[in-house]
Chains A and B, each alone.
Chain A
Amino acid sequence: MLKWIPLLPLIGFVINGFWYALFQSRPGAKKAGATIPGVIATGAIFGSFLISLRVFFYLKGQAEDARIVEETFFSWMKIGEFSLDMAVRIDSLSTLFTLVITGVGTLIHLYSIGYMSHDATPGKFFAYLNLFCFAMLMLVMGSSLPILFLGWEGVGLCSYLLIGYWYEDIDKAAAGKKAFIANRIGDFGFILGMFLIYTHFGTLEFSKITELLGKGEFTALLNPAAVTATCLLLFLGCTGKSAQIPLYVWLPDAMAGPTPVSALIHAATMVTSGIYLLARLNLLFSLSHTAMAVIAVVGAATAFVAATIAIAQNDIKKVLAYSTVSQLGYMFLACGVGAYGAGVFHVITHAFFKALMFLGAGSVIHGMHEEQDIQKMGGLRWKMPVTFVTFLVGWIAICGIPPFSGFFSKDEILWNVFANPHGNKLLWIVGLLTAMMTAFYMTRMFYLTFMGAPRFNEAKLGANGHGDDHGHGHAPKGVHESPALMTIPLVVLAILSIVGGFIGIPHMSWLEHWLSPVIPAHDPTAFTAGNTVEYALMAVSTLAALGAILFALKTYSNLKVAAARKQKHSRLHETLENKWYVDEAYEAAFIQPIYELSVKLWKGFDVGVIDRVVVGFGRVSQWTGQAARTLQTGSIQVYAIVLLFGLVLTLSYLIKGFI
């Protein structure tokens, strides 16, 4: 039963892969339509969703400490005592992830049927999408670190393939490669972290690792330095996959992929893998205060820096991308202060409202004929009413206005940062500032896109779109609302964005209770502040967000004022728009030097030294020339003579030396 959750999308991948190879791969094949591949892929992932639901309710029916199901496919690797099973397992943590992946996944698949309807190779697209779901499900269901890693790298592959889906644009292809390599740098840490765990635990299976971590007499004997190293190495993996400092640079570029991909992979699921890993091994991470502090600081710094950049971006998807990086930083901040449950909570609500906003942005881009610059939008509220209303919901949710879902999860994080035993007031201030910036730039984006007067010439739209890749041959002229296939998922996600937060209402959190077998709940008495402070802080953060929203509305309702303000701080604005020049710094510090060194090694050492030593035996090269001529006549004598010579030498040595 369990195994069909990942297997269904895998089957979908195989079918669509052949569909593509047989019908849509030939150059010049007529646009084949997205319906059949789309229905196959959506059906596969929807099937997984239904099974995930069943598993969830099955677990719900069990006693708390019996909420684990495991299934083994076969033995993967076995060498002596080292044994690894290809096995999947679902417990109270992973069941939430499978529900989000398959649930949001189904909606995004459905949406994609509409979005990709004019694409030339939808079979390929849906094959990749299904393959992604398979890998993502293996990631959260893997029973051991290597199986998790199989999914971990698998989602990286699909991300690479889908970012570069429109490969004819070399920038998009390059963005895909950048993502893969940034992830590989993280995976370098992941692999070594795995080895450290194997050294110290003697196993890579989660059930056994968790069991050992539960024993005080075992953890007391662990070398603290090794634990810290393990945690930091695994966290390096997380910074790659979940786009944190220093490896976050790939995610904004990843927006080159089709928008449903951005919603599914680069907002709702894959990028939250890091949080899953921390939550999965929370008992381990909690053993190292150093590692926890690093995670909290990196999370807070990422949240803050990404938010500053988001303020100055004009591409609607780039704003959302930096917002995602920033929100992921929030989740790591939560984990860093030991509030793993709050991190997971934010993963879930973020999946709803960020997927919603990405799909909404996709709808806007679709309707605007591939325009992504918010400076050239405006006034879309009447043209695209459904998109407008649902996007509005997403906007309120991410700004953290109650009772929308974002409020609850964000507040849970801020409260933990402020008051829980591992918390830190300074980090809380950073978190609050980030929340204000988030409200500001989201309002800016929302206002510039939907409100005010249109700043585009409707008749000219689509003239310079990416005609070949995403042609609009049949689409109506002018700005238009998207078809129902695309708006229905928007509506569903909007509803979830409104009510999603109710699973984690403070003091009666269903979620915290549900996760308690995996993530031990905090002792409320250990908090450094009481209920009154908690409610006061809630009010503070809500008011801060409202203030930021009003400030943004005031600024952007008069674009002349906004432009003047931008002019006044042009230096800062330019730095932010150029993302603090981090890409450029990496290029100068790492990429260029390694490249130049490699050329030097090749030309200087390989050709210059080794070859010269070997071939440069002076006479040898002469002899080479002669041998070349004899070779032409097809003579085998050369070889025979050399061999004979060698034999004589050897034998004479033997006879003289030993007999």
Chain B
Amino acid sequence: MEWFNSHLLTALTFLPLVWALFGTFLPVKAAKHWAFAGSLLVFLVSLKLYFEYDPSGAEFQFIENTEWIPGLGVNYSVGMDGISLWLLLLTTFLSPLVILASYNGVEEREKEFYTLLLALQTGMMGAFVATDVFLFYVFWEAMLIPMYFLIGIWGGKDRVYAAMKFFLFTMVGSLLMLVAIFFLAYQHKLQFGSFSTALLDLYKVKLDGAGYFSTQGILFLAFALAFAIKVPLFPLHTWLPDAHVQAPTAGSVILAGVLLKMGGYGFIRFAFPLFPQAVATYQHAFLILGSIAIVYGAWVAMVQPDMKKLVAYSSVSHMGYVVVGLFSLNAIGATGSIYQMLNHGISTPALFLLVGMLYERRHTKEIKEYGGITKVMPLFAIAFMIATLSSVALPGTNGFVGEFLILLGVWKANPALAVVATTGVVFGAVYMLWMFQRVMFGPITKEENKNLKDLSPREMVVLAPLMIAIVVMGIVPNFFFEKMEKSVAKLLERTAKVEMVAAAGPRKDGK
């Protein structure tokens, strides 16, 4: 118990994986219950993090540090600040819901399915707690494998194509990041006499940062490419719609809910403080790409005939907000972005789950196959409406808080682009409400739809926490801001300050 308390993050991170390994000894029938119990346990234990995290400090807490590859200066070191806290909790919160939602949909190779889901959870949590850049990379890559198989084995008709596309895009981006990590470790050796991949050590490395293709600039691009693909940022987004359409519901939920957040998290945790001058150099380029993503994603979402593809493109648009918010480089925009990541991690999973529930009933995701569903599924309609409103950022839902802060932050950084980004408010309403209208309203035109069953109790249990979260996060955002305010401020301060210090010589404050 004492070990557990002093190694809380490690214990939590690996609990799903270990739990899954034990599960392989159980009969197939028990697989889903075992997985659900495990993920629920992880969620409950992770709440401990919320209560024990001290928001008055900005630095990593729950720190653990063990030597791993001494020759390269790689340590197994984990820690958590106010930003990772919420992303971790998002991960542990979504996992049981996803598993419960898969109870009926997954009928083949169940044991493998749930084992992979739990392994994936370990990978995601690890990436959020890693404070060693190489360790982060390992978790980052480790997440790929289970996801690849989830899409490739339990996906739809073109699952292999989609899985490969997902794999290729992500792989290409992350290899360059790996090179950049080694380069950084080497620079540390040149400047301080030893290899190191510890994030806090690398902050101290002095790099030439003048111009687009300075050392900082190139290293930043190597990191940024990996993160931009993951977000995904226009024009690197085309793997996402395919991956979503082919992935099973659980895959889509995890992909949209957590994996995409890795990109945004990577930017603020690694790319920003490591390469502050480059960030300032490329700020407006990313603001432009993000603004394009917002509008482009919304427009293309509007014309999609497939519900999942529509939601996938809506993710491109929503994650565009995250990017512009982060690159506003001020506290309002960055806080809004992190909040928007959490929001998107609630509302988009809700939408994918809802689409999945329709799919389980009718085995199609084509919008034109539906119409008038409200009549036969009124409770489903309520949940769908709430998720839709969150997606269109109606005040009172979580979406508004994020978008409002992001746009205000961008306004301070670049008013012209804020105007472009704000048009997303209009187009976002267009594609969501139009889909809602075509699926839920009007007369029931298809015979098959006349006897669809409304939500089952299990489905209600899956959806209810998300619906509650949508409203709660819209009304009391301060509850979330309180824990992360200091951490965000600290990271931004680093991003801004290192710039000046770097010009004057190596940093002396040691952080």
Contact (Cβ within 8 A) A191 B300: no
B423-436 Cβ-contact flags toward A at 8 Å (1 or 0): 10110011001100
Known: A628-B164, A636-B145. A154 touches B372 (CB 8 A): no
Chain A residues contacting B415 (CB-CB under 8 Å) are: 195
Of chain B, the residue at the smallest CB distance from A596 is: B303
6 more A-B residue pairs beyond the given contacts A195-B407, A598-B303, A624-B160, with a C-beta to C-beta distance below 8 A: A26-B454, A82-B332, A191-B404, A598-B300, A601-B299, A646-B171
CA distance A550 to B407 in the complex (A): 56
Known: A646-B175, A653-B179. A153 touches B374 (CB 8 A): no
A610 within 8 A of B: yes
A596-626 Cβ-contact flags toward B at 8 Å (1 or 0): 0111011001110011001100001000100
Contact (Cβ within 8 A) B437 A595: no
- Residues of chain B at interface, number, CB under 8 A: 78
Contact (Cβ within 8 A) A620 B303: no
Which of B13-21, B211-219, B274-282, B439-447 faces chain A? B439-447
Q: Given B236, B331, B430, which contacts A80 in the complex, CB threshold below 8 Å? A: B331
Contact (Cβ within 8 A) B145 A177: no
B405 within 8 A of A: yes
Q: Given A153, A177, A195, which contacts B437 in the complex, CB threshold below 8 Å? A: A177
DSSP class of B's interface residues: helix, strand, loop or mixed? helix
Of chain B, the residue at the smallest CB distance from A598 is: B299
Q: Given B296, B376, B382, B454, which contacts A601 in the complex, CB threshold below 8 Å? A: B296
Q: Given A153, A198, A595, A646, which contacts B302 in the complex, CB threshold below 8 Å? A: A595
CA distance A164 to B388 in the complex (A): 16
A627 within 8 A of B: yes
B335 within 8 A of A: yes
B307 within 8 A of A: no
Known: A79-B331, A79-B485. A628 touches B160 (CB 8 A): yes
Q: Given A150, A157, A606, A650, which contacts B238 in the complex, CB threshold below 8 Å? A: A606
Q: Given A153, A169, A624, which contacts B394 in the complex, CB threshold below 8 Å? A: A153
CA distance A31 to B190 in the complex (A): 80
Contact (Cβ within 8 A) A654 B425: no
Nearest CB on B from A235, distance (A): 16
Q: Given B148, B379, B382, B395, which contacts A154 in the complex, CB threshold below 8 Å? A: B395
Q: Given A74, A173, A606, A654, which contacts B300 in the complex, CB threshold below 8 Å? A: A606
CA distance A652 to B394 in the complex (A): 53
Nearest CB on B from A654, distance (A): 5
Contact (Cβ within 8 A) B443 A27: no
A77 within 8 A of B: yes
A444-455 Cβ-contact flags toward B at 8 Å (1 or 0): 000000000000
Contact (Cβ within 8 A) B164 A627: yes
Contact (Cβ within 8 A) B238 A611: yes
Chain B residues contacting A21 (CB-CB under 8 Å) are: 378-379, 382
Contact (Cβ within 8 A) B425 A191: yes
B192 within 8 A of A: no
CA distance A636 to B142 in the complex (A): 12
A174 within 8 A of B: yes
B422 within 8 A of A: yes
Contact (Cβ within 8 A) B171 A642: yes
The 9 closest A-B pairs by CB, nearest first: A173-B441, A170-B442, A25-B378, A150-B395, A598-B299, A628-B160, A167-B441, A195-B411, A602-B300
Contact (Cβ within 8 A) B408 A157: no
Q: Given B302, B389, B443, which contacts A157 in the complex, CB threshold below 8 Å? A: B389
CA distance A76 to B475 in the complex (A): 7
Chain A residues contacting B395 (CB-CB under 8 Å) are: 146, 149-150, 152-154
Within 8 A of A (CB), among B431-469: 433-434, 437, 440-443, 454
Which B residues are closer than 8 A to A by beta carbons?
141, 144-145, 148, 152-153, 160-161, 163-165, 167-169, 171, 175, 178-179, 182-183, 186, 235-236, 238-239, 241, 296, 299-300, 302-304, 331-332, 335, 372, 374-376, 378-379, 382, 389, 394-396, 400-401, 404-405, 407-408, 411-412, 415, 418-419, 422-423, 425-426, 429-430, 433-434, 437, 440-443, 454, 475-478, 481, 485, 489
A588 within 8 A of B: no
Which of A180-188, A329-337, A340-348 faces chain B? A180-188
Contact (Cβ within 8 A) A168 B407: no
Contact (Cβ within 8 A) B169 A614: yes
CA distance A606 to B161 in the complex (A): 16
Contact (Cβ within 8 A) A184 B302: no
Of chain A, the residue at the smallest CB distance from B411 is: A195
Contact (Cβ within 8 A) B394 A199: no
Contact (Cβ within 8 A) B152 A595: no
Q: Given B145, B376, B441, which contacts A170 in the complex, CB threshold below 8 Å? A: B441
In the assembled complex, 8 residue pairs joining A and B whose CB atoms fall closer than 8 Å, in A order, are A25-B454, A168-B372, A184-B429, A188-B426, A598-B303, A614-B168, A646-B171, A649-B175
Chain B residues contacting A168 (CB-CB under 8 Å) are: 372, 375, 441-443
A78 within 8 A of B: yes
Contact (Cβ within 8 A) A188 B481: no
Nearest CB on B from A234, distance (A): 14
Chain B residues contacting A525 (CB-CB under 8 Å) are: none
A185-206 Cβ-contact flags toward B at 8 Å (1 or 0): 1011001100100110000000
A529 within 8 A of B: no
Chain A residues contacting B475 (CB-CB under 8 Å) are: 76, 86
Contact (Cβ within 8 A) B426 A185: yes
Nearest CB on B from A150, distance (A): 4
CA distance A306 to B408 in the complex (A): 36
Of chain B, the residue at the smallest CB distance from A640 is: B145
CA distance A535 to B303 in the complex (A): 60
CA distance A497 to B394 in the complex (A): 36
Chain A residues contacting B178 (CB-CB under 8 Å) are: 646-647, 650
